[in-house]
Amino acid sequence: MRKRMTNIVIIIIFISVFSMMVTPVNATTISEIQEEKKKNEEQLNDINKQISGYKGAQADIGAEIEELDAEMVSLLTDINLIEEEIGKKEEEIVKTQADYDAAVATKDEQYESMKIRIKFMYEKGDTSYLQLFFESASIGDMLNKAEYVEALYEYDRKLLEEYQKTVEEVAALQDRLEEEKSELQTSQYELEEEQAYVEDILAKKQKEYENYDVMLAKARQEAAAYTTKIKQETAQIKKLEEEEARRKAEEEARKKAEEEARKAAENDGDGDQSDGDKNNGDKNEEDKSSEQEKPKPSSSGSSKGQEIANFACKWVGNPYKAGGTSLTNGADCSGFVWAVYNNFGISLPRSSYAQSGVGKAVSYSDAQPGDIIYYGGHVGIYIGNGEIVHASTERTGIRRASATYRSIITIRRVV
């Protein structure tokens, strides 16, 4: 790209010098330059013949600049989404930390209460519930003490259960806190990579364009609007998936209730059994027919795509490693996608941003196993039924996740 842009800049300068020999150029914008070129077309015929070798490149100058502008918007959008993801994760960590601290305080308080209870029982000699019965003066006294023992036992049991529940809550919160911190660390790594690439691109553009500041300001505006649009689209997808999951749960509950009612009717033994079997058979056929008519989420596509998805899932549980490309010893998100596709003899770029431009774009509703989903600094492989497999974080490694766990920028089909 750098060599191509250098050639284009040389061409622009070369054309501008010769153009000024024919007609003064007062244009300051791309559209005005193109208009001047149209007006001077006849005057430049002779010059164009002399530089016929550059004719194709000259015709592509406007398109090249538009392409670079689009790249600028895309990169800035990625930065926006990653920064928002980091901000969101930082808020989650603060909340989880507060929940964790509160749970630890509760656990410590319960533990101290249990210690006081045990100490009290020891000092009072109340170390054995059975001893209370031996000291009973009568059956009535024994029954009273039995009720007392039962109340003591229930109280101690509840204390222990509450303490155990709090211990489990503390462990779960600690695990979640560590996972969130790991996700934050990975997002920060992805942001640093993306920012380094963006800074390099912007530095080149600043040298190439006189109106760089204007272009950058416009690109930031467009990136902000595009970021909002992407977030809205992902939110809509999530909503539809939740509605579908709820509908499936209701359908399963309905079928379960009908099955239980059918079994209850059979157990009653009332009515004609053969008619009941026939009716049940008819209903089962209706259920099968209904299931066949319902649209199912995409879980199949090209055989090669399915092979890629199946192969990718084999490495679930293996480690994440920043900068890595090994499916066994560790890979980062783009390294994982690169290695999986490389296994099938398909060459992909190494960075996540470059992978976001491979193949052709497809919509989420048309996504098939083997497609690459790009989230802005992060990529994963779609495996069907609303899931991806990806190199997630150092803590979680390669794992499966919901395809909409982050805002989707683009989905690319390579095979």
What are the pLDDT digits (tens) for 309-359? 999 999 999 999 999 999 999 999 999 999 999 999 999 999 999 999 999
pLDDT value at residue 152: 65
Q: How far apart are CA 80 and CA 69, in angstroms?
A: 17
Q: How far apart are CA 73 and CA 85, in angstroms?
A: 18
Work out the average pLDDT over 409-415. Answer: 94
Work out the average pLDDT over 47-58. Answer: 43
**Res 297 pLDDT > 70:** no
Q: Given the residues 333, 339, 373, 408, select the one marked as catalytic.
A: 333
Residue pair 180/393 in contact (Cβ under 8 Å)? The answer is: no
pTM above 0.75, yes or no: no
Residue pair 332/393 in contact (Cβ under 8 Å)? The answer is: no
- Catalytic residue list contains 333: yes
pLDDT tens for 9-34 read 444 444 444 444 444 445 455 455 55
More confident residue, 414 or 222: 414
Residue pair 382/403 in contact (Cβ under 8 Å)? The answer is: yes
Q: How far apart are CA 369 and CA 384, in angstroms?
A: 5
Helix (H, G, I), strand (E, B) or coil at 397: strand
- Catalytic residue list contains 378: yes
330-331 and 360-362: which strand pairing? Answer: unpaired
Q: Given the residues 390, 399, 412, 413, select the one marked as catalytic.
A: 390
pLDDT value at residue 270: 57
pLDDT value at residue 25: 46
Q: How far apart are CA 118 and CA 165, in angstroms?
A: 20
Q: Given the residues 89, 181, 378, 406, select the one marked as catalytic.
A: 378
